[in-house]
Chain A
Amino acid sequence: MITKLKHVSVFVLNQDSACDFYVNKLGFKIHTDAPMGPGQRWLTVSPPEQPYLEIVLMSIKEGMMFKKEAAMQMREMVKNGTFGFGVFECNDLLATYEELKAKGVVFIKEPTKEFYAFEALFKDDSGNWFSLTQKESS
């Protein structure tokens, strides 16, 4: 029986810049930052209320995981905003939207009342997009 999601990967163009984005803009915490040889880190971050969920900030580099061609294609796709990696939740969407905007986060959809949720869409520094919704009860 599967009980929970522990790690999930987000492919990023640059780990340093992604780290700055997820920590200083989104307000996540670094969970693990382990050196894996020259130019490589095992870097994971967690949202404030989910300290045990690790979002792995994976760099797209040629190597065992990506052949040269694949790495290039993947970088292009990420840059062009092909991938939506998930839905984040906040207590108050308007306040979070104003704060993230003040910090320079790019929104591709302003807060909008949809039939499923009060929702906005933003991009991370690589081009991956995320939905941001307001917690139902608040």
Chain B
Amino acid sequence: MVFQEVKAKLLDNVKFMDKEPYSNVYLYRRIVQAKLFIDKNFADHLDLDNIAGEAFFSKYHFLRLFKKIYHKTPYQYLTAVRIEKAMELLGNNKSVTEVCFLVGFESISSFSGLFKRLVGTSPSAYLLQQQQIKAQVLKTPLRFVPNCFAENYGWKQKSNFEEVPE
């Protein structure tokens, strides 16, 4: 009798956990921590085989959940972060060689190849394009501001922005 009650209660709990999103909170935290770990340490030589290491659930389960949440395996995610960071650095006028090693790649050719495949242009073409956009923003900033905003702020009245009162 007691056994039946305990069993019923346990079954209830299982049903509850199925419905209750917070039953997954522990797992979610582990996955999010792993993602943040990649975000922070992408430039290092990361051994992603160990990323699920200390977790209390299997590597298989870990990978499955990671992919479900981020639509990428941890390795694919790491590559995406490196390429994103590379785009940012190239946008800040760093050289292709410098960027390649700064974001954790070990050879220029693999970096350039991956970059081209994911972004659509080579890193050097992207660098040039970003330099041109930056120069344009500095030269004619109002081209990038919708007219109505510029008018409301009084930016249109003076061509020399230094004179606009704060």
Contacts and interface: CB of A to CB of B under 8 A. Distances in A.
Interface residues of A, number: 28
Contacts, number: 79
A63 B141 contact: no
Contacts of A7: 146, 149
> How big is chain B's contact interface, by range?
20 to 34
Interface string B29-46: 101110110000000000
Mostly, the B contact residues are helix
A63 B158 CA distance: 14
A99 B39 CA distance: 11
Given A7-B146, A64-B152, A33 B137 contact: yes
A14 B166 CA distance: 14
Given A38-B162, A42-B144, A42-B145, A91 B69 contact: yes
Interface in B107-166: 137-138, 141, 144-146, 149, 152-155, 161-166
Contacts of B36: 99, 102
B155 A32 contact: no
A98 B137 contact: no
Nearest to B155: A36
B25 interface: yes
B50 interface: no
Interface in A37-58: 37-40, 42, 56
Contacts of B71: 91
B137 A34 contact: yes
Contacts of B31: 95
Contacts of A99: 32, 35-36
Interface in B1-51: 21, 24-25, 28-29, 31-33, 35-36
Q: Give 4 nearest A-B pairs by CB, closest first.
A: A37-B161, A34-B141, A64-B154, A98-B32
Interface of B: 21, 24-25, 28-29, 31-33, 35-36, 68-71, 137-138, 141, 144-146, 149, 152-155, 161-166
Given A37-B164, A98-B28, 19 more contacts: A32-B144, A34-B144, A35-B141, A36-B141, A36-B164, A38-B161, A40-B164, A63-B153, A65-B153, A91-B69, A92-B69, A94-B21, A94-B28, A95-B31, A95-B32, A98-B29, A98-B32, A113-B21, A118-B21
Interface of A: 6-7, 32-40, 42, 56, 61-65, 91-92, 94-95, 98-99, 102, 111, 113, 118
